[in-house]
Structure 1
């Protein structure tokens, strides 16, 4: 299958690309390069990639593909809150336009990377895909809007599927340090203490980047009639954990590190546990393999192996800080558009 993978030079895309290739798919990327340089260790081998901002995608970019996997987004709650209009411009409007162009170009399957954070504050009950959507941030709200709008494009020739990923974790050659487990393992390694500023009680569903890749691979080849217009939570109930448990896993992976739950910011309203039975029932060959503890150990091993430093941790691998660096250097403008062609790939 010939697949267009947006965001192929991001955190998830750099993990998903070789998984898709190993499954026999012909993969072409589409990425502006905002995070192409956020590499820890050897640079990954990239597939041919269309160098274009998602907001500038044209019909010519969608021709000849059997499927689109749409990962590209501003994937950060602090950034979304700081610049909500840019978040909606990229994550919502440009994503819906991408789907419209894909349909017009004859692309038959559109796999959209949504998020379990669309459920917002759901308490202790396990939420299924039929639960009310209560997004609490501009990032989550943008994902809900895309699901709603792309659903209206579906017909017999265009089949969208919405994969609501749990919070990702795990090592990627293009690292993110601002997602919870990746962040806490880094803090444990660099400071010796995992500090939890909330009370540690909120629930978070976690899923490894490689398990996300496996889910998209399974959805890519599943019978259309079985998954047409469906939403699937991506993860496993075993990784429904509290923030305090995530902190304990991070400290457990880093020798001589400790946990300090300060509670200074109070309880976090974003708390939800997720039911993942639908995706298991839909895809016989999809079984999440990574536990939180295994992911913490993998992260620590790679942080040590590739020389993670405090400076890299706080700048290159933290999305908001990285984008501010690019803006300060005049590489991107206030709308996060590059000021010169290919600038993000240096």
Structure 2
């Protein structure tokens, strides 16, 4: 029985991944500040929730024992959240990373899986942005992701396997819902306001359904060492423009939804290829952006996301400001 430590497992992706791991009978420890609460997790004798700060290395040192696998999800998780407090972002996203990797290796962790980001590529003109292209991060958030990738690979050997995943923007319903990422934002506004605003519209935005994101982490856990050690995998499907996303939302939520368009000076356009993970790990997605919108629509209809326009629980920046995270 593999024992897995999910650092930052109390967030959006973790709230989907951890239950999926438990269904597969893994023993899971979640290490997190739990600023969004612990209620997203049902009691389970294979689950241990440990409240702690990823920067508290003494605490981490006592926690990382007898874990075969570490999945590192903890970070200030997108550019706007990071820019709210750059010092905080650097302390969580970069400064504590090397010591955390060193502790993991000393404690005989077998495999360390790191959640990077597809934003490390910056703006590319190539039609298919694959893992071997140059990295041109545009923000401190993505620059620190690049730095952490480099740091992790310094420690790779036959006994300490390192693997990096570069996800696109995650979308869809989860127990710890985020409503501050593009598909989820548009769906929330369409359902509750019957109107969505599109800034620009031609920019490409790769997305991945949260169920597929969870499936990828499970694939990275279960794949043979020779397939994953020292590897980087993109994880992004449905490279749709913002206009196409808005039209998909309208199709699902209702034709009465108005789409308002505004000119934008944000010309960032991302489009990534996920052929490598398909070729090497035989991974293919099962879910689309439309599926994500359908799942969210159902959640709204069943009142699983009350006060979705105002409650800080759904918005990283609002919650960080509310608790004055430092």
TM over 0.5: yes
Paired position in structure 2 for 1:302: 299
Residue range with higher mean Cα deviation, 287-296 or 302-311: 302-311
Paired position in structure 2 for 1:342: none
Paired position in structure 1 for 2:242: 243
Q: Does 1:317 align with 2:314?
A: yes
Paired position in structure 2 for 1:71: 73
**Kept after mapping to 2: 8 A contact 1:110/1:160:** yes
3-state secondary structure, aligned to 2:162:
strand
Paired position in structure 2 for 1:184: 186
Q: Does 1:216 align with 2:217?
A: yes
Q: Name stretches of at least 5 consecutive residues in structure 2 with no aligned partner.
A: none
Residues 1:59 and 1:310: Cα distance change in structure 2 (over 3 Å) = closer
**Kept after mapping to 2: 8 A contact 1:177/1:313:** no
Residue 270 of structure 1: how far off its partner (Å) = 2.1
TM-score with structure 1 length normalisation? 0.88
Count of residues in correspondence between the two structures: 319
Once the two structures are superposed, residues 296-322 of structure 1 have per-residue CA deviations (whole angstroms, 9 ceiling, x without a partner) of 111111022125455654522111011
Question: How far, CA to CA, are the matches of 1:179 and 1:317 in structure 2?
Answer: 10
Residue 74 of structure 1: how far off its partner (Å) = 0.9
Residue range with higher mean Cα deviation, 137-146 or 9-18: 137-146
Residue 246 of structure 1: how far off its partner (Å) = 1.1
Question: How far, CA to CA, are the matches of 2:307 and 2:33 in structure 1?
Answer: 27
Residue 23 of structure 1: how far off its partner (Å) = 2.3
TM-score with structure 2 length normalisation? 0.93
Q: Name stretches of at least 5 consecutive residues in structure 1 with no aligned partner.
A: 336-346
Alpha carbon RMSD of aligned pairs, Å? 1.6
Residues 1:311 and 1:2: Cα distance change in structure 2 (over 3 Å) = closer
**Kept after mapping to 2: 8 A contact 1:151/1:160:** yes
Structure 1 segments, 4+ long, off by >3 Å, are 307-314
Once the two structures are superposed, residues 231-268 of structure 1 have per-residue CA deviations (whole angstroms, 9 ceiling, x without a partner) of 000133xx0111111111122221221211211x33x2
Residues 1:287 and 1:23: Cα distance change in structure 2 (over 3 Å) = farther
Paired position in structure 2 for 1:339: none
**Kept after mapping to 2: 8 A contact 1:81/1:137:** no
